[in-house]
Amino acid sequence: MIFIIKNIILLLALQFYQLMQLVFATNNFNKLKEVKALLPEHIKLLSLKDIGCFEDIPETQQTIEGNAIQKAEYIKKNYGYDCFADDTGLKVEALDDAPGIYSARYAGKQRNANDNMDKLLTQLSSIHYRNAQFKTVLALQLNGQLHTFTGICEGKITTKKRGYNGFGYDPIFQPKGYTKIFAELTLEDKNKIGHRGKAVSQLILFLKTYK
């Protein structure tokens, strides 16, 4: 009898896991790829394209946390899906934590990564103190409740671009304690130490224990 009960509980748990799906509120293919590589198989990740969301989601808040929450709440309110959204900023100490919330459009509305890096390198050209950090906040809307998870990676800005992996500012960000920069690391290695990987790991731990 105990064996049968255990099997029933296991079957119900597996059914729950198979039904668990979350929307990741991003149009960034690279972010989607990074997060998919971290999530366990029982969590089905949907993109904005999968739910028919093609409009620009508002990001009008003044903090990284605020923008992540705003995006998650937008999807929940307008599409009804449980979802999570992220916002990430690169904060350079010598520039009073710029570019911060403007990281993706630092050099203009075109949101071009090379333009952003070129602008940052130019601004730091005569500055030797180049400490910086990446910060990611994930905002999860699940069953009507909001939860947030934060990941931070300390490092510094290099003097020139290197490497071919990653995206965004990865070719000029050297994580603390490493000789390689983000763009020289494999996706697996970057996820182990990176800001987004840390935040997603907290999200996964929460989902595993969520009732």
Q: pLDDT (tens digit, 9 = 90+) per residue, 31-43? A: 888 888 888 888 8
The CA-atom distances, in angstroms, between 114 and each of 70, 166, 181, 196 are 27, 13, 16, 21
CATH number of the domain residue 91 falls in = 3.90.950.10
Low pLDDT (below 50) residues in the chain: 3-17
Q: pLDDT (tens digit, 9 = 90+) per residue, 128-149? A: 999 999 999 999 999 999 999 9
pTM of the model as a whole? 0.85
Q: What is the pLDDT of residue 16?
A: 43
* Total domain count, the chain: 1
Q: What is the pLDDT of residue 184?
A: 98
Angle (nearest 5°) at CA 203 between 76 and 195: 110
Angle (nearest 5°) at CA 36 between 149 and 207: 45
103 vs 99: CA distance, rounded Å: 5
- Active-site residue, from 87, 96, 97, 118: 87
Range of the domain at 169: 2-209
Residue 149 φ then ψ, to 5°: -140, 135
Task: Classify 85 as helix, strand or coil.
Answer: strand
Q: How does strand 21-24 pair with strand 83-92?
A: parallel
Indicate if 87 belongs to the active site: yes
